[in-house]
C-alpha cells in the first residue's frame, strides 16, 4: 500500500486545491493507498477543508504540535500503514495519473527512493531574471525525459518524493534540525536522508512520468524571498555538517571562508561590470549562502 503524506501549515485554500486534484485521480480506484494529512499547528480554516474531504477519500488526519516540516513528516511516517510513503507538498497539483505512474515505477525498478518531475505553475508572469538557479530554488525538478538511476538525492525535493518505509526508517527519518520551521527557510533534510539510504546500499530513481505542478504565488517571486532562502540554505549546510574534531572544524571554516571570498569577488565583479540581472542575483545568492555557512561554522568553532 502507498501511504501518501501531506504536511500542511496555514495554507488552507491552497491545500483545498491540492486535495481536490489528488482525489480526482482515476487510479485511486485500483491502487491500495491511504491519504495522511499532518496539520502542523495551523490556525486558519484547514480543519474545515479536511472535514469536507473526509467523506470522499480514505483520509487520516493527525495534529503534530512540534513545529517544523521534518517533525510533521516523521509523524506521517510513524502513522503510515503502507510499505511505501510518498510525500506531496500542500501546494502541488498532481497529474491525473500520478499514483499509477508512481506505482508502476516502484514495481519496475524496485527502487528505495523515487523522485518525480515537478514543474512550476505561476500566478503571474515571473520576473525576467528567474533563471535556472532560482527555478531550482522553487523546487523545479527536471532531470531529463527518461527514467534513470541516480547516484544521490541532489536536486530531488520533498514536494514529490517517495520512499520504501523500511529504508527511510532505517536511515533515521528526517533530521529535525533541518527543514522549514514556520517562516524559517531551512532546507536539506531530503538530501541528507537520501544520502544515508545510498550509503547503506539503497537505490534512487528519477521518474519524469510521476509529475506534479508546484503552485508559485507572487510572494515567492519577490527578490527578498530568494535572499532569505539563500541565507537559509547556508545555515542548513552548516547544520548538516555533523560531528567533527576540532581540526576538522578548522578545516571546514577555512573552506567556507575561501568560498565566501570567491563569492564576494564575483559579486563585486558582477556589480562593476553590469552583468545581467540573473547573473548579479546569482552572485548575490551565492554570497549570502557562503556568508551564512561561514558564520555557522565560525560560531561552532568558537564554542567551548
Residues 250-292 pLDDT 10s: 999 999 999 999 999 999 998 988 779 999 999 999 999 999 9
For residue 52, pLDDT over 90 is answered with no
CA gap 232, 292 in Å, rounded? 8
Q: Which of 170, 197, 202, 176 is nearest to 74 (CA)?
A: 176
How many of the other CB atoms lie within 10 Å of CB of 218? Answer: 11
**In the predicted model, what is the mean pLDDT of residues 58-65?**
94
**In the predicted model, what is the mean pLDDT of residues 29-50?**
95
For residue 182, pLDDT over 90 is answered with no
Domain ranges of the chain: 2-221, 223-302
**In the predicted model, what is the mean pLDDT of residues 45-55?**
89
Q: Which pLDDT value is given to residue 186?
A: 77
CA gap 162, 111 in Å, rounded? 10
Q: Which pLDDT value is given to residue 33?
A: 96
**In the predicted model, what is the mean pLDDT of residues 163-171?**
98
**In the predicted model, what is the mean pLDDT of residues 114-130?**
96
How large a percentage of the chain has pLDDT more than 90?
84
pLDDT tens readout for residues 201-243: 999 999 999 999 999 999 999 999 999 999 999 998 888 887 8
Q: Which pLDDT value is given to residue 265?
A: 94
Confidence of residue 53 (pLDDT cuts 50, 70, 90): confident
CA gap 299, 56 in Å, rounded? 51
Higher pLDDT pick, 179 / 112: 112
**In the predicted model, what is the mean pLDDT of residues 85-112?**
98
Place of cell 520504501: 164
Which one of 1.10.3720.10, 1.10.287.3510, 3.90.550.10, 2.40.50.140 gives the CATH number of domain 2-221?
3.90.550.10
Specify whether the CB–CB gap between 212 and 219 falls below 8 A: no
Confidence of residue 183 (pLDDT cuts 50, 70, 90): low
For residue 56, pLDDT over 90 is answered with no
Q: What is the mean pLDDT of the chain?
A: 94
Q: Which pLDDT value is given to residue 187?
A: 80
- What string of H, E and C letters represents the secondary structure of the chain? CEEEEEEECCCHHHHHHHHHHHHCCHHHHCCCEEEEEEECCCCCCHHHHHHHHCCCCCEEEEECCCCCHHHHHHHHHHHCCCCEEEEEECCEEECCCHHHHHHHHHHHHCCCEEEEEEEEEECCCCCCCCCHHHHHHCCCECCCCCCEEECCCCCCCCCEEEEEHHHHHHCCCCCCCCCCECCECCCCHHHHHHHHHHHCCCCEEEEEEEEEEEEECHHHHCHHHHHHHHHHHHHHHHHCCCCCCHHHHHHHHHHHHHHHHHHHHHHHHHHHCCCCHHHHHHHHHHHHHHHHHHHHHHHHHHCC
**In the predicted model, what is the mean pLDDT of residues 53-58?**
78
For residue 101, pLDDT over 80 is answered with yes
CA distance to 38, 231, 259, 285, 296, per residue, from 263 (Å)? 39, 14, 6, 9, 17
pLDDT tens readout for residues 132-158: 999 999 999 999 999 999 998 888 999
Amino acid at each position: 500500500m502507498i501511504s501518501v503524506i501531506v504536511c500542511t501549515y496555514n495554507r488552507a485554500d491552497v491545500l483545498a486545491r491540492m486535495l481536490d486534484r489528488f482525489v480526482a485521480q482515476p487510479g485511486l480506484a485500483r491502487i491500495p493507498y491511504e491519504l495522511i494529512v499532518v496539520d502542523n499547528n495551523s490556525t486558519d480554516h484547514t480543519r474545515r477543508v479536511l472535514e469536507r474531504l473526509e467523506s470522499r477519500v480514505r483520509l487520516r488526519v493527525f495534529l503534530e504540535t512540534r513545529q517544523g516540516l521534518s517533525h510533521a513528516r516523521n509523524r506521517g511516517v510513524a502513522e503510515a500503514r503502507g510499505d511505501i510513503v510518498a510525500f506531496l507538498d500542500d501546494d502541488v497539483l498532481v497529474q491525473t495519473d500520478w499514483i499509477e505512474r508512481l506505482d508502476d515505477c516502484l514495481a519496475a525498478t524496485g527502487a528505495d527512493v523515487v523522485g518525480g518531475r515537478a514543474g512550476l505553475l505561476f500566478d503571474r508572469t515571473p520576473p525576467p531574471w528567474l533563471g535556472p538557479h532560482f527555478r531550482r530554488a522553487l523546487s523545479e525538478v527536471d532531470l531529463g525525459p527518461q527514467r534513470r538511476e541516480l547516484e544521490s538525492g541532489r536536486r530531488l525535493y520533498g514536494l514529490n518524493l517517495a520512499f520504501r518505509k523500511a529504508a527511510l526508517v532505517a536511515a533515521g527519518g528526517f533530521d529535525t534540525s533541518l527543514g522549514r520551521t514556520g517562516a524559517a527557510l531551512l532546507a536539506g533534510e531530503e538530501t541528507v536522508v537520501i544520502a544515508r539510504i545510498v550509503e547503506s546500499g539503497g537505490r534512487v530513481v528519477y521518474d519524469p512520468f510521476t509529475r506534479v505542478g508546484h503552485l508559485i504565488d507572487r510572494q515567492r517571486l519577490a527578490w527578498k524571498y530568494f535572499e532569505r532562502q539563500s541565507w537559509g540554505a547556508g545555515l542548513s549546510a552548516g547544520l548538516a555538517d555533523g560531528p567533527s574534531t576540532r581540526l576538522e572544524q578548522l578545516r571546514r571554516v577555512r573552506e567556507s571562508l575561501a568560498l565566501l571570498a570567491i563569492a564576494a569577488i564575483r559579486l563585486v565583479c558582477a556589480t562593476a561590470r553590469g552583468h545581467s540581472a540573473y547573473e548579479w542575483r546569482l552572485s548575490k545568492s551565492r554570497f549570502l549562502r557562503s556568508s551564512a555557512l561561514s558564520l555557522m561554522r565560525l560560531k561552532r568553532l568558537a564554542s567551548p
